[in-house]
Amino acid sequence: MKLDVTAVTIFVVLFVLVTVMGFFAARWKRGDLSQLHEWGLGGRRFGAAVSWFLLGGDLYTAYTFVAVPALLFGAGASGFFAMPYTSLVWPILFLVMPRMWSVCQARGYVTAADFVRGRFGSRTLALAVAVTGIVATMPYIALQLIGIEVVIAALGLNYALHLGGLVLDLPLLAAFAILAAYTYSSGLRAPALIAVVKDVLIYGTVLAVIVVMPIELGGYERIFASVPPAKLLLAPPPHSSLGSYSAYASLALGSALALLLYPHAMTGILSSSSRDVIKRTAIAMPAYSLALGLLALMGYMAIAAGVSSQPAYAAGFKAFGASYAVPALLLHSFPSWMVGVSFAAIGIGALVPAAIMSIASANLFTRNIYREYIRPACSPAEESRTAKITSLIVKAGGLFFIILLPQTYAIVLQLLGGVWISQTLPAVMLGLYARWLRPSALLAGWAAGIGTGTFMVAQSSFKSAVTTIQLFGTAVPCYAAVAALAVNLAAAVGLSMLINVFSRAPQNDATLAEDYG
């Protein structure tokens, strides 16, 4: 990890560029930033092009671009579930989210919990949705910071400050401080504008990878031939088990259902200027899936290039494990200037989602905890100010996470976060269609889902989110989020029906049928 001046210069210049853009963004599509929907949703003014960049920058995070190839590098074919996952998620966005946008627009809702509060008239259920969102997002932010950490280390920028037992990574702290400052001043407009730069860099990198790598490594045939045969395909399931097949399919489906429930996805969606924009964005989003699939193959390219056995990268692999596969491959195969560009793509690719995630959590805290429980009479300006400060606290939380705790904690919590956030599906997504659901039943289902899901992941000592269920004598390995969601749905729907049979109490629905567009 020695210092490469050309690569570092390009990396720093691009970082400075996006910083300037981040502060400038406050003036873009100018609005009154002392209003929460202006700061936290960009005034709901983004057209199809900006929404596409924003959602792409938001949902295909730097961590994805490092972790998915790392999965293929380490585990092989089973890591490729990211591909069907991203094919499944966009039709859901297309179908469900225009309804969500319409009702939020009509009622001035800023978060999913706002919607739940209005639809079911239950502040407790809204609190459950808000807290789940915030808790699931925090480790996600931490993982973005790890993404930055990996590329900074790979560039050779190791300037650490030793404070007692703490090791503070100075370039990481600098990146974090800049990110915090422009998010505070510009709100969602900053990541929306920066996402454009990030995507240009990412697509440039993808193009370079698919052109340069096969030439350098002797074609795709050679690349796949260097992968151990046992890793190349999923292991066929043994007798009386669905084995890797059900695990793979449920991971794809569960991840697709979870993704749009994350607060940062909701923030991106609600910032669109119309429901038509959401539909058009959903049609064009798969372009990112293709980029992701091609980048995923970098895991195999790293095997073919043999980077893990080269002494130059030994320290990197020791520090970051398989996550170092992509940076090592880029260092190994690209000229310095391309290394600078592609590392900047990953680094800036971490800043965009980190900013949106902190804004989304801040919106949740401000709307559904602060204004609901602490200061019901707060003015719009106070609301916006609280959100700005909360965004700082959330990011600092993510930073402390990776400074104070071992990296594996963030990874485990992110795993659990996916299981937990899925449990808001009945209230948030089903709630868009079914007003007969009862808040107490939804709350019971949520609790049952969180409990079962956590228990299932705990059984693997928090190593894996795949749990094995016995169904009619067949072992069915299944993503815990999906299994827990089944329990959740059964409870929420069953109890709602029961309540509706025995109770004539009217629904407390503040929304009207025409709000849904």
- Closest by CA to 249, choosing from 484, 476, 491, is 476
Residue 462 touches another protein, criterion: CB under 8 A = no
**Any idea what the Cα angle at residue 450 is, between residues 448 and 452, rounded to 5°?**
65
Torsion angle of C-alpha atoms 6, 12, 17, 23, degrees rounded to 10? 180
In the complex, the smallest distance separating the C-beta of residue 517 from another protein, rounded to whole angstroms, is: 9
- Cβ closer to another protein: 246 or 361? 246
Q: Which of 135, 212, 249, 430 binds another protein (CB under 8 A)?
A: 249
- Cβ closer to another protein: 142 or 269? 269
One-letter amino acid of 495: L
- Cβ closer to another protein: 60 or 140? 60
Q: CB-based contacts of 479: which residues, under 8 Å, 6+ apart?
A: 247, 250, 251, 253, 254, 255, 465, 466, 467
Residues 214-243, mask of contacts with another protein (x by CB under 8 A):
-----xxxxxx-------xxx-x-------
Residue 409 touches another protein, criterion: CB under 8 A = no
User: In angstroms, rounded to a whole number, what is the distance separating the alpha carbons of residues 509 and 492?
Assistant: 17
In the complex, the smallest distance separating the C-beta of residue 282 from another protein, rounded to whole angstroms, is: 6
Helix ranges (DSSP H) in 285-369? 286-296, 298-305, 314-320, 325-333, 336-364
- Cβ closer to another protein: 176 or 288? 288
- Closest by CA to 379, choosing from 35, 140, 142, is 35
- Closest by CA to 372, choosing from 137, 164, 150, 121, is 121
Q: For every residue of 249-282, which 3-state class applies, written as one string?
A: HHHHHHHHHHHCCCHHHHHHHHCECCHHHHHHHH
What is the Cα Rg of the chain in Å? 23
Residue 512 touches another protein, criterion: CB under 8 A = no
Residue 486 touches another protein, criterion: CB under 8 A = no
In the complex, the smallest distance separating the C-beta of residue 415 from another protein, rounded to whole angstroms, is: 21
- Cβ closer to another protein: 70 or 127? 70
- Cβ closer to another protein: 19 or 467? 467
Tokens read off for 396: 């600092």
- Closest by CA to 199, choosing from 381, 88, 37, 341, is 341
CB contact at 8 A, 334 and 212: yes
Residue 279 touches another protein, criterion: CB under 8 A = yes
Residue 293 touches another protein, criterion: CB under 8 A = yes
In the complex, the smallest distance separating the C-beta of residue 300 from another protein, rounded to whole angstroms, is: 9
Task: Tell which positions 295-324 bind another protein, by CB under 8 A.
Answer: 297
Burial 24-61 (b: 16+ CB within 10 A, else e): ebbebbebebeebbbbbbbbbbbebebbbbbbbbbbbb
- Cβ closer to another protein: 168 or 207? 207
- Cβ closer to another protein: 255 or 414? 255
In the complex, the smallest distance separating the C-beta of residue 289 from another protein, rounded to whole angstroms, is: 5
User: In angstroms, rounded to a whole number, what is the distance separating the alpha carbons of residues 83 and 58?
Assistant: 17
Task: Annotate 83-127 with DSSP letters as a single string.
Answer: HHHHHHHHHHHHHHHHHHHHHHHHHT--SHHHHHHHHH--HHHHH
Residue 209 touches another protein, criterion: CB under 8 A = no
Q: Which of 195, 197, 253, 432 binds another protein (CB under 8 A)?
A: 253
Residue 94 touches another protein, criterion: CB under 8 A = yes
Q: Which of 12, 17, 26, 88 binds another protein (CB under 8 A)?
A: 88
Residue 90 touches another protein, criterion: CB under 8 A = yes
In the complex, the smallest distance separating the C-beta of residue 238 from another protein, rounded to whole angstroms, is: 14
- Cβ closer to another protein: 49 or 498? 49
In the complex, the smallest distance separating the C-beta of residue 276 from another protein, rounded to whole angstroms, is: 9
Q: Which of 9, 75, 91, 490 binds another protein (CB under 8 A)?
A: 91
Residues 48-87, mask of contacts with another protein (x by CB under 8 A):
-----------------------------x--x--xx-xx
- Cβ closer to another protein: 39 or 90? 90
Q: CB-based contacts of 42: which residues, under 8 Å, 6+ apart?
A: 29, 31, 187, 188, 189, 192, 271
Q: Which stretch binds another protein (CB under 8 A): 89-97, 259-267, 402-410, 416-424?
A: 89-97
- Closest by CA to 139, choosing from 205, 227, 28, 63, is 63
DSSP class of residue 35 equals S
- Closest by CA to 100, choosing from 261, 227, 286, 223, is 261
Binding residue count for another protein, defined by CB under 8 A:
39
Residue 212 touches another protein, criterion: CB under 8 A = no
Tokens read off for 172: 């990481």
Q: Which of 245, 385, 462, 469 binds another protein (CB under 8 A)?
A: 245
- Cβ closer to another protein: 250 or 363? 250
- Closest by CA to 219, choosing from 208, 206, 228, 210, is 210
Residue 283 touches another protein, criterion: CB under 8 A = yes
- Cβ closer to another protein: 299 or 353? 299
| Contacts with another protein, residue ranges (CB under 8 A) | 77, 80, 83-84, 86-88, 90-91, 94-95, 219-224, 232-234, 236, 244-246, 248-249, 252-253, 279-280, 282-284, 286, 289-290, 293-294, 297
